Amino acid sequence: MSDLGPFSNYRLTARLELRNKIGVFASVTALLARSKASLGAVDIVNVSRDKMVRDVTFDVAGEAHGERVIEKLRKLRGVHIVSVSDRIFLFHLGGKIEVHSRYPVTTRNRLSMIYTPGVARVSQAIAQDPAKVYNLTMKSNSVAIVTDGSAVLGLGNIGSQAAVPVMEGKAVLFKEFANVNAYPICLATQDPEEIIKTVCHIAPAFGGINLEDISAPRCFEIEDKLKALLDIPVMHDDQHGTAIVILAALKNALKITGKRIEDVKIVVNGLGAAGIACCRILLAAGARRLIGADRQGVVLYGAPRELKMMRRSLYSCIHWSKPRMKLREALAGADVFIGVSAGNVLKPGDLGCMKKNRIVFAMANPDPEVEPHKAMRLCRIFATGRSDFPNQINNALAFPAVFRGALDVRASVINESMKLAAAEALAGLIGRDQLNEEYIIPSIFDKRIVERVSAAVASAAMESGVARRKTQPGKSAEQNRS
CA pair distance 82, 80, nearest whole angstrom: 6
DSSP 453-467: HHHHHHHHHHHTT--
Please give the torsion angle defined by the CA atoms of residues 153, 155, 160 and 162, in that order, rounded to the nearest 10 degrees.
-100
- Give the separation between CA 122 and CA 452, rounded to whole angstroms: 35
Q: Are 375 and 343 in contact (CB under 8 A)?
A: no
List, in sequence order, every residue forming a beta bridge with 298; answer none if it has no partner: 293
Give φ, ψ of 349 to 5 degrees. -65, -25
User: What span, in angstroms and rounded, lies between the C-alpha atoms of 206 and 232?
Assistant: 8
| Catalytic residue of the set 10, 72, 96, 115 | 115
Residues 1 and 36 sit within 8 Å (Cβ to Cβ): no
Q: Alpha-carbon torsion 459, 462, 464, 467, what sign?
A: positive
Buried b (16+ CB within 10 A) or exposed e, 56-86: bbbbbbeeebbeebbeebeebebbeeeeeeb
Query: What sign does the dihedral 178-182-188-192 (CA atoms) show?
Result: negative
67-70 — which CB contacts under 8 Å span 24+ positions?
68/35, 69/12, 69/31, 69/32, 69/35, 69/37, 70/12, 70/14
Annotated active-site residue 96? The verdict is: no
Instruction: Measure the CA–CA gap between 125 and 123, rounded to whole angstroms.
Output: 5
Contact 300, 311 (CB under 8 A): no
Strand partners, 83: 15
What whole-number distance in Å separates Cα of residue 151 and Cα of residue 154? 7
Please, are residues 147 and 197 in contact by the beta-carbon 8 Å criterion?
no
Pairing state of beta strands 142-147 and 336-339? unpaired
Q: Indicate the pairing of strand 181-186 with strand 381-384.
A: unpaired
197 phi, psi to nearest 5 deg? -60, -45
* Residues sharing a CB contact under 8 Å with residue 218, sequence separation 6 or more, in sequence order: 150, 190, 192
In angstroms, the CA 395 to CA 361 distance is 14
The catalytic residue among 51, 103, 134, 170 is 170
The answer to whether residue 374 is catalytic is no
Q: Which residues are catalytic?
A: 115, 170
